[in-house]
Amino acid sequence: MLICPLDYRYGREEMKEVLSEDYRLSMQLMVEGALALAHAKVGNIPEKDAKRIAKACAPGVVSLERVKEIESETKHDIMAMIKAITEKSGPAGRFVHLGATSNDIVDTATALQIKKALDFIEGDVLGLIKAFAALAAKHRDTVMVARTHGQFAIPTTFGFKVAGYASEMMRFLDRLREIRPRVCVGKMSGAVGTGAGFGATFFKVQEEVMQELGLGVEEAATQIVCRDRYAELANFLAMVSTACERYATEVRNLQRTEIGEVMEAFDEKKQVGSSTMAQKRNPMLSENLCGLARIVRGFVPASYEDMVLWHERDLTNSSAERFIIPHMFVLTDDILIKTKQVFEELKVNDKRMRENLESSKGMVMSEAVMLALVSKGIGRQEAHEILRRASLSSERQGKHLRDVLLKCKDLTKVMSAKELDAVMDYSSYVGSAPEIVDKVVARAKKATSSR
C-alpha cells in the first residue's frame, strides 16, 4: 500500500533512486569497504582481509533483504549490515567496522547521497538558466507594463523580467557550488569524534577513507557530522524552490483572464482544464510547483531543530532526517524540472501586452513626462505636481493623459505636442533594459558552457 505521493506522483525516478533504501545501503557498504582498505593501507589489518571485506561490500553481495532479516532481531540497522558483511567475509569478518561507530558509516554514506543528488540539482539549475536566457533574448525588446503593488507602474520588457530570473538562478548556481565542500563531508572518528578507536592511525585512516570516497572531513566531529551542514543544505533547497515559486506565481498572475499576457502551454487535443468548465485553461503546472515549494520550505524548521542535540549526540535527528533529506531533494528536483518546462513552453502574448499598455491611457508614462519637464527647466517637485493633477483629471474624465496635458499651460509653454508624443512612446522608456538583457544572457551562456 502506497501512502507517500513521492511513491506514485511526484519526482523523477533517477533522483528517487539516489535517495532510495537500496542506494543508501550500497553507499554504506561502500564506506565499510573503504574503511577496511584504509586499515590495510596504514598497516592495521592484513591486505588480503581488507580485500575480502571490500569484495563482500561490492554491489550485489550483501542484500537488503538479508540486512532487514538480521535487523528484525538486532533492532539496529547498522549492526545488521555489519553482521551481513561479516557473513560474506569469512575469517576476515573479524575486522569489519573496526574502530568505527554507526554514524561514521551513516553520515559518510549520506554525504555520498547528497553529493550525487546535488549533481542532479546543479544540472537542473543550469538547464533553467539556459531556458531563461533563451526566453529573455527572444523577448529582449517586447515592451510590457511593469507592476508594483499590483498596479501599473512604467514600461519594461518581458525579456528584462526573465533576465532577472536568470540572474537570480546564477546566484543559486554559485551558492550550490559554495556549499558543496561544506555539506559533502563524512567522518571516520569513532564514538564521540576523538578517533580513540583508531589509535595512533586515526588521522591517516580518516584521510584515506574520505580521499577514496571523494568527500571532505568533519574536522571536529561529535558522534555525528555537525548538523549545521544539513541545515545549510535544507536552507539552500528551500531558497531555490521558493525562487521557482516566485517565477511560477508571476506566470499565474500574468495568465489571469483580465491580464492574459502569458499562458502555460496547453494541449488542445487532449488536455482538460476543468471537469465542468470546459473553457478553462488553468496554469496547472505553475500551481503544482508552487504548492510543492511550500512543502519544501516546511522541512526547514526541522533541519534547524536537528542541530540541537544532547551532548555528543542523541537520536532525535535520525528519524527526522529520514524524511527531510529525501523529500527536499526529490521535490526540489521536481520543482526545478517543472519550472524549466513552464518557461520553455510558455506562450507570450505581446499583442495583449501592448493592449494593456494602451489601456492605461498614457498614465504609465507620467514619470517620463515629469522628467522631460525637468529637462526643460521646470523644478522636479513642480513637475511632479503637474503630472499628479493631470493624472487625476485623466482618470476622472476617462481621457488619455496626453489630451489632458496638452491643455495644461504649464506644460505647453515648454513642450510641443510632437515632443510630448515622443516622450510618451512606450518603447522609448524602457531605459537600459535591452542592454541589461544582453549582459545577463552573455553571462548565462558563459555559466552554462563551463560545465
pLDDT average, residue stretch 209-224: 97
Q: Identify which of 238, 116, 103, 242 has the alpha carbon closest to the alpha carbon of residue 183.
A: 116
Task: Return the CATH number at 249.
Answer: 1.20.200.10
Q: In this model, does residue 280 exceed pLDDT 70?
A: no
Cα distances (angstroms) measured from residue 9 to each of 18, 275, 331: 17, 20, 11
Cell of 35: 574503511
Catalytic residue among 149, 311, 449, 450: 149
Model pLDDT, residue 8: 87
Q: Specify whether the CB–CB gap between 372 and 161 falls below 8 A.
A: no
Q: What is the dihedral of CA 39, 42, 48, 54, to 10 degrees?
A: 40
Helices (H), 214-348: 228-254, 284-298, 300-305, 316-344
274 is catalytic: yes
Domain total in the chain:
3
In a domain, 450, yes or no: no
Residue 275 per-residue DSSP state: S
Q: Give the model's confidence band at 268: pLDDT under 50 very low, under 70 low, under 90 confident, else very high.
A: low
The reply to whether 187 and 92 lie within a common domain is no
The reply to whether 315 and 391 lie within a common domain is no
Q: Identify which of 447, 433, 445, 441 has the alpha carbon closest to the alpha carbon of residue 141.
A: 433
| Residue that finishes a domain, picked among 98, 117, 150 | 98
CA distance 230 to 303: 7
Model pLDDT, residue 283: 87
Share of the chain above pLDDT 70, in %: 96
In a domain, 10, yes or no: no
Model pLDDT, residue 2: 85
Secondary structure tally for the chain: helices H, strands E: 19, 6
The reply to whether 49 and 114 lie within a common domain is no
> Average model confidence (pLDDT) for the chain?
95
Tell me the pLDDT tens digit for each residue of 46-76.
999 999 999 999 999 999 999 999 999 999 9
The reply to whether 64 and 75 lie within a common domain is yes
Model pLDDT, residue 435: 98
Model pLDDT, residue 111: 98
The reply to whether 129 and 277 lie within a common domain is yes
Model pLDDT, residue 1: 86
CA distance 395 to 377: 27
The reply to whether 160 and 252 lie within a common domain is yes
Model pLDDT, residue 282: 82
In a domain, 9, yes or no: no
In a domain, 336, yes or no: yes
CA distance 351 to 144: 10
CA distance 90 to 74: 21
| Residue that finishes a domain, picked among 98, 126, 157 | 98
Model pLDDT, residue 272: 60
Tell me the pLDDT tens digit for each residue of 389-430.
999 999 999 999 999 999 999 999 999 999 999 999 999 999
Q: In this model, does residue 78 exceed pLDDT 60?
A: yes
CA distance 191 to 99: 9
The reply to whether 201 and 317 lie within a common domain is yes
CA atoms within 13 A on the CB side of 276: 0
The reply to whether 285 and 181 lie within a common domain is yes
Residue 379 belongs to what domain range? Answer: 363-423
Share of the chain above pLDDT 90, in %: 93
Residue 256's Cβ-count burial label (10 Å; 0-12, 13-18, 19+) is exposed
CA distance 58 to 364: 67
The reply to whether 186 and 297 lie within a common domain is yes
Task: Return the CATH number at 384.
Answer: 1.10.40.30
The reply to whether 225 and 329 lie within a common domain is yes
Q: Give the model's confidence band at 136: pLDDT under 50 very low, under 70 low, under 90 confident, else very high.
A: very high
In this predicted model, which residue has the larger pLDDT, 394 or 276? 394
User: What backbone phi and psi angles, to 5 degrees, belong to 144?
Assistant: -145, 170
Q: Specify whether the CB–CB gap between 285 and 264 falls below 8 A.
A: yes
Residue with cell 563531508: 185
Catalytic residue among 63, 274, 319, 359: 274
In a domain, 451, yes or no: no
CA distance 343 to 254: 13
pLDDT average, residue stretch 323-350: 97
pLDDT average, residue stretch 195-208: 97
Q: Considering the entire predicted model, what is its pTM?
A: 0.94
In 99-230, at which residue ranges do the beta strands (DSSP E only) sit?
143-148, 151-157, 185-186, 216-217
The reply to whether 208 and 274 lie within a common domain is yes
Model pLDDT, residue 450: 66
| Residue that finishes a domain, picked among 64, 81, 98 | 98
Model pLDDT, residue 281: 76
In a domain, 118, yes or no: yes
3-state secondary structure of 190: coil
CA distance 398 to 359: 11
User: What backbone phi and psi angles, to 5 degrees, belong to 194?
Assistant: -85, -15
In a domain, 1, yes or no: no
The reply to whether 403 and 340 lie within a common domain is no
Tell me the pLDDT tens digit for each residue of 368-399.
999 999 999 999 999 999 999 999 999 999 99
In a domain, 4, yes or no: no
Model pLDDT, residue 277: 57
pLDDT average, residue stretch 79-85: 97
311 is catalytic: no
Residue 166's Cβ-count burial label (10 Å; 0-12, 13-18, 19+) is buried
CA atoms within 13 A on the CB side of 216: 16
